[in-house]
Each structure stands twice: as structure tokens, then as C-alpha cells.
Chain A
Amino acid sequence: MSAHAPKKQAFVRELLGRSDYAIIGEIVEPGSRVLDLGCGEGELLQWLAANKGVDGRGVEIDGARVQRAIARGVSVFQSDIDEGLADYPDGAFDYVILSQTLQETRHPRQVLREMLRVGRRGIVAFPNFGHWRVRASMLVSGRAPRTKLFPYEWYESPNIHFLTVHDFEALASVERMAVERRYFLAGNRKVTLLPNLLAEVAIYLVRR
């Protein structure tokens, strides 16, 4: 048993079937105000409200998902993330969450700026395009990579801006975002070594 102890520590239990949600659920302080951008059907917000007592709001473009989110009692409004933040006053939220959404926005840099205008902190989770499988897939097939993380044909993919761990670090530095915490996941395990090569998903806690 003891031989497995360090491995066990690195294991991330899933929340609502997702390991990145588990990290986000860990980061968010109880009772805080949370905005989830691209919140889907509001599962994470519902969990945060029930388990952390957060006051949550969501933005989602897909009408059917918005309906299901509202029906489960989450305050979600239907809007494009690229446009949906402008109305909020500065510092309206403690956390703004971009969970696997950034790569789908048209103007990610602008979204990040807006995120840190309306939120004191941002939580950004994204699939790492630098993962070795992505690289291998492209190297071997010579075609746009298709992996577990990027399962779509290029013409069907909702992802329009691909980024790696290094890319995010570089933009964070240019944008003078302070990275408070960073987490790297491969499946349900935390990655500590060579995250740009080994992490499937990266989660950053950032602030201005």
C-alpha cells in the first residue's frame, strides 16, 4: 500500500464525471459569487450552489442547454460569451470560470481581459494541444490531429483556437495575469513533470 501512496495523492476524484470539475470545486471558496462562462446545462453551478453555497450565474449560447439549466434552478442567460460580459460591472464576481470554453471563443484574449474585469479571479481549464498524443497524431497522419481530447474532424470542431500549456503561460505573461495556481491532469492523475507534453487538461487560477 505504502508504495502506492504518492500515486494516490496524485489521483483526482471526478466531480460530475469530470476531473477538471473536481479541481474547480476544490478551488472555489464557499459562499463566493461565481460566473460560469459556457456553463452548458449548469451542472457545475448547481453542484457549487448545493455544496459550496455559492451564488452562481451562467452564460450559455445553446438555447436547449439554457432551458435545462434554468429548469434545474440555475440562473443562466442565453448569450454569446464574446459579447455576454460587457454589461457586468467591474468586480461583480469572486470567480469567473472558463471550463473548456476558451478554445471555442472567437476572441479569447478579449474574453480573458473581460473575465478579469468582472471577476476578481479567473479559473481557466483547457485541453492542452501540446500533449504528446496530439503531436504524434499530427506527425504520423499528417492531418489535423484527432485524439480523445480533440475528437472532432477539423470541419466539425467547436474548437477554433488551439492552445498549449506554454501558449497560455506566454499569454498570461503578456497580459500581466498573475498565475496563483496551476494544475495539470492526465485522465484522473495530476501531472508534475513536463506538463506541456504530458498534461491533457490544464487548469489555471489567475488574477490581475
Chain B
Amino acid sequence: MNTADQYVEAIYLEQQIENGPVSTGVLADRLDISPASANDMIGKLETRGLIDHEKYTGVTLTDKGIARAREALETYCIIERFLTNILAVESFQTEADELEPVIDELVAERLDTIIDRHPDCPDCFDPETDACCYLDIATELSDTNEQRAD
């Protein structure tokens, strides 16, 4: 997956959490990069028509950006599901993050033939728990987060 796809995916998830535009700082935190790097890519994404950028407000995905982000998120879901269902990896989120930049959409599509992904995907993805809600382990994560909130 290329860097632009990772950015639009991150904006898509943060938009859901923030319920509105995403600031450069929030995006930089999520991607663990400097605000300057985030700003640089924001300019490129805007030129490609993937986002709208309002100064002092933040960025919002265009329809084209949303479509691209959802495709990227599907690829991420496939990797997470593959790690949990086939390889039984406990730290599947950390490892999915590491693998995501190296796994191409084409490769993910092949892996998808054996993981029985839910038809709702990528709406199955919960940005708070950072996992597909249909993964058995995701229920445990959600419970843990709720206990922390209490």
C-alpha cells in the first residue's frame, strides 16, 4: 500500500472519531510523523482531489478520497483478519501496521479468498478499538476499553 493510501485511511478513521475535519496535528500524531511532513502530504492529496483543506479547521475527505480510504481500510482488515485467523498472532494490530505498507492490494485480494471477510467490510472496522468488530478478539478489546473508560 502506498503512502497516500495510508494517509487517506488515517484521515477517514480520525474523521469518524472526531466527527468532523481532522487537524494536521491529530493526523501527524496518528501517523507518527512531523506536522511538517503531514502538511506536505496534505498539499499533495488536495492536488489529487482526495481531500479538502480548510486553514485552521483541518482536512476532510472528498467523495473520491472516501472511496480510496475505504479500499485501503479493506486491505488493512484483510491483513488483520489473516494475522488473527490464519497465523493466530496476538499482537495483530501492531503487526498489521508493520505489514500494511508492504502488502499490495493485489496480494491482499488473494489472501481475502481464504479469510471469510464479513460483507459489511470496511464498515465493520471500529476506529476506537482499531479492529474489525467481527473478530473474536475485537470483542475482548472493546470490553477492555469500556472497563478503562469506567
The answer on A and B forming one complex is: no
